[in-house]
Structures are given as structure tokens and as C-alpha cells.
Amino acid sequence: MTLISQWRCWQIMQCDPDAKCSAKEHPEEECWNVIGAHDPCSFNICRDCLVYVVKKKDAVLSEEEIRSILAHKGIELVVLPAGCQASSADLEKV
């Protein structure tokens, strides 16, 4: 989809950098998998989460709707040309 789909959940949600977070402790996994391991019932909440919607290919929201939500949160969306991937260093700058 876009560069933002490669961001970690705490970047999309603009969490406090000092906040203790299970997802930050396991950055190699998607946040909904980390949370689901602690509380299997939480997936119903995750399906409505902006992070899940942005990262899943089968999102109910259109890309335009997602862009609008992100813009409202003050997140600038960067679109990469087809076939391009951002490096880990690029993602950390965000």
C-alpha cells in the first residue's frame, strides 16, 4: 500500500516514546499478534484499530479514507513507487 504500512504501531498511533508497551518489546511481530498472545479476546478490538486497518490488505476502508484519518492525526503519508521498499533507517526517521 504505502510506506506507512511498514511503520510500527507506536509510530502510527504516535505513542509516548517512553511508554512501556508489549508491542515495542516484540517489534518483529505485528501488534495484534503480541496482544492476542496475552488476551485472545482482544482481536475484536484490533480489527477496528487504525494500525490493523492500515496494515491489512483487505481493509474495509478505502485508501482515501485511511489517508484522511491519518491526515487528521497529523501524519504525513509517503507513497513509494511500485516495487520500492523503505529501509529500516528510513522508518526510524518517522
Nearest to 12 by CA among 69, 85, 57, 83: 69
- Contact in structure between 23 and 34 (CB atoms under 8 Å): yes
Query: Residue 74 and residue 14: Cα distance in Å, rounded?
Result: 10
* Domains: count for the chain: 1
Tens digit of each residue's pLDDT (9 = 90 or more) over 38-48: 777 776 777 77
What's the pLDDT score for residue 52? 85
Q: Identify the domain containing residue 55 by its residue range.
A: 3-93
Q: Report the chain's mean pLDDT, rounded to a whole number.
A: 76
pLDDT of 68 over the 80 cut: yes
What's the pLDDT score for residue 94? 45
For the chain, what percent of residues have pLDDT higher than 90? 4
